[in-house]
Amino acid sequence: MRDGLRRCTVCRSETSVIAGSIFAGRRSPLVSWFAVVWYVVNQKQGVSALGLQRVLGLGSYQTAWAWLHKLRRAMVLPGRELLCGTVEVDETYVGARHTSVGGRSLGHKTIVVIAVEGDRAPERVRMRRIPNVKRDTLADFVLDHVARGSEVRTDAWTGYDEIGRYRFDHVVTNMSSSGDPAHVALPHVHLVASLLKRWILGTHQGAISHTHLDYYLDEFTFRFNRRRARHRGLLFYRLLEGAMAAEPHPTKNSSANPANSLRTAESGERSGYPVPRKAIAARLRQAADVPMQRWVVASEVTLQVVRSGGATRAPVGAGSVRNAQVSGAYR
């Protein structure tokens, strides 16, 4: 149909390609969303809301924040493959330092449990914010993210005692008796925990609330698992695929209470649309210093390709995106 809707030949009902996705109910052009997606996947260290606001010339910080959080909800696809082989599991504490507490005392911090796949080097990771380090909580995390029969390496904390009962090869390392520090006995999981905290302090300046920490963990997982990706176009395709699978989340439901108006950097006038396409493309070229390829294209065609699960004419620009089968390196 000319208006971009699809009509059922049986019941004659009309629907849109973006219905049921995070793009549903949008008030900005899809090409503006594509610009944001391309900029997000092109930045190796991640993107802050303030940085996105400056690059695209958005007049509201809340708008940039809301757009990024919608994309973070799409960075973890449902039904992901479980970790297998050798998996290290440990928990870390995210938050400001507090001198009055120590050990596994919570204080003002948040507990994050991490699972890292790999023997000689870390490969894939899974993370989750948990309320406590009790046996049921830690066992549920391992069951949800690690395949049965895998070798699970942990420390001697009693919260991991039940793991061996679920057909896992549980390898326990007692830190106090081994004589080695924790980052030597379990190197991969402590490396990932260190990178996570460095990423939070560096890219986001530590300004992450406990309420929204889960979505930042999803973004870190998305970037870490795809750190060896050679083609930005594949990441662009993968994030669009997640955006079409994610549930819609209206901006008005966001706790940031974003102002739904945008402001162009040149005129300073409020409007219902972001910066014009040429201005966005110019800013992205300057910020990313990479070819823009061809993402400013027919929006409905691109989303139709992503939703169908395969593309023979995906207008993203990278030839490898046209292959419907994405290798396991991009899980």
DSSP for residue 21: S
Which of the pair, 20 or 154, is modelled with greater confidence? 154
**Residues 119 and 152 reside in one and the same domain:** yes
**Residues 206 and 91 reside in one and the same domain:** yes
DSSP for residue 22: T
One DSSP character per residue, 259-309 reads -S-EE-TTT--EESS-S-HHHHHHHHHHHH-S--TT-SS-HHHHHHHHHHT
**pTM attached to this predicted model:** 0.73
Is residue 174 domain-resident?
Answer: yes
Question: Residues 157-178: pLDDT tens digits?
Answer: 999 999 999 999 999 998 888 7
Round the average pLDDT of the chain to a whole number and report it: 75
**Residues 205 and 93 reside in one and the same domain:** yes
Range of the domain at 127: 86-210
* Residue 153 burial (C-beta neighbours within 10 Å; 0-12, 13-18, 19+): buried
Is residue 240 domain-resident?
Answer: yes
- Tell me the pairing of strands 110-117 and 86-94: antiparallel
**Residues 120 and 38 reside in one and the same domain:** no
DSSP for residue 95: S
Query: How many domains are contained in the chain?
Result: 2
Say yes or no to pLDDT of 299 above 80. no
Is residue 314 domain-resident?
Answer: yes
Is residue 304 domain-resident?
Answer: yes
Helix axes 61-73, 232-245, angle to 10 degrees: 90
- What's the pLDDT score for residue 256? 45
Q: Which residues contact 263 (CB under 8 A, 6 or more apart)?
A: 57, 58, 59, 60, 269, 270, 271
In angstroms, how far apart are the furthest CA atoms of the chain?
Answer: 72
Q: Which one of 144, 176, 210 terminates a domain? A: 210
pLDDT category at 312 given cuts 50, 70, 90 is very low
Is residue 150 domain-resident?
Answer: yes
Which pair of tokens denotes residue 83? 């970790």
Is residue 54 domain-resident?
Answer: yes
Task: Report the C-alpha gap between 192 and 214 in whole angstroms.
Answer: 16
**Residues 99 and 198 reside in one and the same domain:** yes
**Residues 205 and 313 reside in one and the same domain:** no
Is residue 118 domain-resident?
Answer: yes
**Residues 198 and 307 reside in one and the same domain:** no
